[in-house]
Amino acid sequence: MELMTTLDRNKEPPSSAIRRVRNTSSRRTGCKFSILAKQSLDGRTWVLTHRPNGECARHNHPPSEDPSAHPAHRRFGERDATTVSNLAISGIAPREIRTYVHNHSESLATQRDIYNQIAATKRNLREGQSSIQALVDQLHNEGFWCRIRLDENNRLTAIFFAHPESVTNKHQMPLLDMVGVDSCQRSFCIAFALLSNEAEEDYTWALEHLRSLYSHELPSVISTDRCLASMNAAKIWFPSSTALLCLQR
């Protein structure tokens, strides 16, 4: 049996005349260094030799300073790949994932390798669908009421979704949604709070922290529904704001 071993830099670098999807550098140098490994007839030993061509006995680049310079050494094993995927699905930040992997395995993966594995995980979750198609399917599968709008080219231009149990989460804690309106009548989210109850002390606690966000100008108007607990809490922390009653909920 005879085997030939080459380097991971043996291919020529891509031509600069070819427009690539991503503007990335290449490790390829066209290095022709390679060796031949020939097994003895009895199968017990191997003989290593250079190939006859002189170019195949010399490197055209300096030696690598770290094992992580070679993609083969950074390749994820099945266990590490599963770990990265599970952490990404759980919402862990890529930088924290890299720290965890380096502390719990011998992986030499770089931050870019982590990003690539996360991207591969997302592609697998989409199962060949586009990102927006996967989102719509996930919303339907998780019980959301969802509607979409398409243009004349069948491209999605808007998506609307709501959940029938949006008032409380899975821990049965009411969600307090604080929304603002600017001078151009544009609404924006200010803050959210999950409360253990809808008593006055709960709203007081939430609005106390909302009040701490304002260093100078306070809201001129605060609108609530006809919930006496929230109305009383607003009077405590925003006494100078005009109170309006929202009749639609």
Q: What are phi and psi of 175, to 5 degrees?
A: -95, 120
Spatial separation of the C-alpha atoms in residues 29 and 13, rounded to whole Å: 6
Residue 145 belongs to domain spanning: 131-167
Listed residue (42, 60, 119) closest to 84, CA to CA? 119
DSSP string, the chain: -EEEEE-TT-SPPPPTTSPPSS-----------EEEEEE-TTSS-EEEEE-SSGGGGS-SSPPPSSGGGSHHHHPPPHHHHHHHHHHHHTT--HHHHHHHHHHHS-----HHHHHHHHHHHHHHHHTT--HHHHHHHHHHHTT-EEEEEE-TTS-EEEEEEE-TTTTB-TT--BEEEEEEE-TTS-EEEEEEEE-S--SHHHHHHHHHHHHTT-SSPPPSEEEE-S-HHHHHHHHHH-TTSEEEE----
Asked if 201 and 237 sit in the same domain, the reply is yes
Would you state the torsion angle of the CA atoms of residues 92, 93, 97, 99, taken in this order, to the nearest 10 degrees? Answer: -130
Other CB atoms within 10 Å distance of the CB of residue 178: 14
pLDDT at 22: 61
The pTM (predicted TM-score) of the whole model is 0.47
Average confidence (pLDDT) over 82-94: 91
Asked if 118 and 151 sit in the same domain, the reply is no
pLDDT at 166: 62
Tokens of residue 21, six digits: 């999807």
Asked if 43 and 102 sit in the same domain, the reply is no
**More confidently predicted of 246 and 27:** 246
**Lowest mean pLDDT across 25-34, 42-51, 92-101:** 25-34
Asked if 180 and 237 sit in the same domain, the reply is yes
Which of 109, 125, 141 terminates a domain? The answer is 125
Asked whether the predicted pLDDT for residue 71 surpasses 60, the reply is yes
pLDDT tens across 114-154, in order?
A: 999 999 998 888 877 788 888 888 888 888 888 888 888 88
pLDDT at 203: 93
pLDDT tens across 171-227, in order?
A: 778 888 899 988 888 889 999 898 888 999 999 999 999 999 887 788 889 998 888
Number of domains in the chain: 4
pLDDT at 217: 83
Residue 20 lies in a domain: no
Above pLDDT 90, what percent of the chain?
A: 22
pLDDT at 15: 66
pLDDT tens across 219-231, in order?
A: 889 998 888 999 9
Asked if 153 and 92 sit in the same domain, the reply is no
Residue 149 lies in a domain: yes
Asked if 94 and 39 sit in the same domain, the reply is no
Residue 19 lies in a domain: no
Residue 12 lies in a domain: no
Listed residue (106, 41, 43, 46) closest to 73, CA to CA? 106
pLDDT at 84: 93
Residues paired with 158 in a beta bridge: 149
